[in-house]
Amino acid sequence: MATNLLSAAECKNATSNGAGVRKLHDGDGLYLWVYLDGRKYWRMRYWQVGKEKSLSVGVYPKVSLSDARKKRDELRKQLQSDLDPSAERKATTLRKKLAAENSFEAVALEWHSKQKIKWVAHHANRVKRLLELSIFPVLGKRPIDQIEAPELLGAIRKIEARGAHDLAHRVLQICGQVFRYGIATGRCTRNLSTDLRGALTPHVMQHQSAVRPEELPDLLRAIARYDETGDKQTRLALQLLAQTFVRTNELTGAEWGEFDMENALWIIPAGRMKMKTEHVVPLARQALAILAELKEISGGSRFVFPGRNRDKPISNNTMLFALYRMGYKGKMTGHGFRAVASTILNETGFKPDVIERQLAHCERNEVRGAYNRAEYLPERKKMMQHWADYLGSIEAGAKVVPLHGQAA
């Protein structure tokens, strides 16, 4: 048994006595290295296969004398088992590094960085936020190949406990995509999300509210009167949304540079589209007239619908809250114009492919999804003008039978 040569007081008061470094021995290879500038480090000196080596044991006083002795004793046990403490430490560091690289969080963030290239920014941010709030705190640091189904279920059920059943299914779906990416990159061998089928409370898909086709005339007339209680820009935004049936965020983020007035086309860049594919919206005469009014009130902003800060567009909620004020809360949303247009145009007799292209419902198949932006453009121009004429007719109170290409 080695005699301990140092005391706690000696460690505290030790100086280098003017030397660059002074080494104070504590027995069994443990030393306190005291530097000229006052820094103090614990090191252990040992021999392996006849070769002298030393290993850092910690910084004093963060590592006390008693703690340093415990670490020394642990290292000596490794030596007694013919293990090199230095090599074992490097191996442990490597294992931790590999575990960190293969953690669920690391794999998920790598997957997210690959996917966000084809996502719009707000969707990419939402997916990452869901992982950061719901999964990373529980499973983020766990090696993805060591996670078991009950662990994943436990994390998802915390979401269910808040009553957010739809969100629970969405987060599980995201986790399933991460596991599939992990399998593809050799980090795990099982997709645990498939093991949890039937384990969550079933959810009912909630479609965004939309008026029935027969209710559309009253809605259009209510929008036309919105200036009486609201502002003109919001009224024009709702009317243009009805005319073009684009997604709400695609409308609110519109910039004047996207419009080709001469050819009556609105070209929405890929970066603003849900499927990251440039989209063309033919503009009917009525839509061009609305844009002319908007140009007069946009105040020189690059945005078609500038907010109070002219360098930023209005919020997506602007039109939603306007619909609320008109009495359509729970009955209609901005997205609802897409559903109504799809229903009526399909009943009208336009080709489904033409309607789907105008709705920007891209093919999930990557080959078919890379379609020419002008595909079906002549038919789409006719359809959009027919749609604008139809909206104008029913708003005026005409009894319109939506037959393809004509209005009674």
**Residue extents of the structural domains in the chain:** 8-87, 104-195, 213-395
The string of pLDDT tens digits covering residues 75-101 is 888 877 767 667 767 666 656 665 567
Distances (CA, A) of 79 to 26, 32, 258: 18, 20, 72
Say what angle helices 232-244 and 285-297 make with each other, to 10 degrees.
150
> What are the residue ranges in the chain where pLDDT is below 50?
1, 363-371, 401-408
Residue 371 a catalytic site member: yes
pLDDT of residue 268: 92
pLDDT of residue 403: 44
Q: Which two tokens stand for residue 261?
A: 């007035």
Contact 314, 306 (CB under 8 A): yes
CATH superfamily, domain 213-395, is Intergrase catalytic core (1.10.443.10)
pLDDT of residue 367: 40
pLDDT of residue 362: 58
Residue 279 a catalytic site member: no
Residue 329 a catalytic site member: no
Lookup result for tokens 């939309």: 210
Residues 6+ apart with CB under 8 A from 97: none
Which one-letter amino acid corresponds to residue 254?
A
> How far apart are the C-alpha atoms of 283 and 329, rounded to whole Å?
29
HSE-CB at 380 with a 13 A cutoff on CA atoms is 24
Residue of 123, 295, 361, 373 marked catalytic: 361
Residue of 112, 272, 335, 386 marked catalytic: 335
Residues 6+ apart with CB under 8 A from 184: none
Residue 247 a catalytic site member: yes
The reply to whether omega before 61 is within 30° of 0 (cis) is: yes
pLDDT of residue 108: 94
pLDDT of residue 168: 87
Give the CATH number of domain 104-195; options: 1.10.150.130, 1.10.1510.10, 3.30.70.260, 2.40.30.10.
Answer: 1.10.150.130
Residue of 40, 112, 169, 338 marked catalytic: 338
- β-pairing, 265-268 vs 259-260, is antiparallel
Residue 335 a catalytic site member: yes
pLDDT of residue 4: 60
Which one-letter amino acid corresponds to residue 387?
W
Residue 118 a catalytic site member: no
pLDDT of residue 363: 45
Q: What is the pTM of this model?
A: 0.54
Given CATH 3.40.470.10, say whether it is the number of domain 8-87: no
Contact 265, 281 (CB under 8 A): yes
> How far apart are the C-alpha atoms of 307 and 42, rounded to whole Å?
62
